[in-house]
Amino acid sequence: MKASAYHLQLNTSDLKFYRKLCKFLQFKTIDSGRTWFGVNAGTIDLWIFQIDKKFRGQRYRRRGKGLHHLALRVSSAKQVDAFLQKFVLKHKLSYLYGGPKRFPQYSKNYYALYFEDPDKIVVEIVYR
């Protein structure tokens, strides 16, 4: 039996942030409601849901169970650099590891920017 990734659901305390991110990255909206939306990223659907207020105080732990980070691929290293200027800095987000750079330990041409969303979930913008 062969399978492929179909969709990923991410629960967030800041739905507006992910609406801005997906719009900026030109994802196609599949469906949306007041507290959720789905987009197509070309190879996988992303479904983003606003968490209930009772869960907003819980701290996210990247090294714990569940999602470690979300990686989104772009088509050039220049786009990675532009994303830093046009999205991360514009929205006053914390970027990690000194900003965009090569990560040869992953593969020869791996170039990425890592930043934290409002819940401290790491999002990676990568060209490979």
Judged against a pLDDT cut of 70, whether residue 27 lies above it is answered with yes
| Residue-wise burial string across 57-73, b where 16 or more C-beta atoms lie within 10 A, e elsewhere | eeeeeeeeeeeeebebb
Q: What's the pLDDT at 65? A: 62
Judged against a pLDDT cut of 80, whether residue 106 lies above it is answered with yes
Determine what percent of the chain is predicted with pLDDT higher than 70. Answer: 98
Q: Are residues 74 and 46 in the same domain?
A: no
Q: CA-CA distance, 54 to 37, in Å (whole number)?
A: 21
User: What range does the domain containing 90 cover?
Assistant: 68-128
Mean pLDDT for 98-108 is: 95
pLDDT in tens, 38-85: 999 888 999 999 998 887 777 777 777 678 899 999 999 999 999 999
Judged against a pLDDT cut of 70, whether residue 119 lies above it is answered with yes
Q: Are residues 34 and 9 in the same domain?
A: yes
Which of the pair, 41 or 18, is modelled with greater confidence? Answer: 18
pTM: 0.89
In-domain check, residue 60: no
Average pLDDT, rounded, for the chain: 92
DSSP H stretches of helix in the chain: 15-24, 77-83
The total number of structural domains that make up the chain: 2
CATH number of residue 116's parent domain: 3.10.180.10
In-domain check, residue 58: no
Q: CA-CA distance, 26 to 121, in Å (whole number)?
A: 21
Residues in the chain: 128
Q: What's the pLDDT at 35? A: 95
Mean pLDDT for 4-30 is: 93
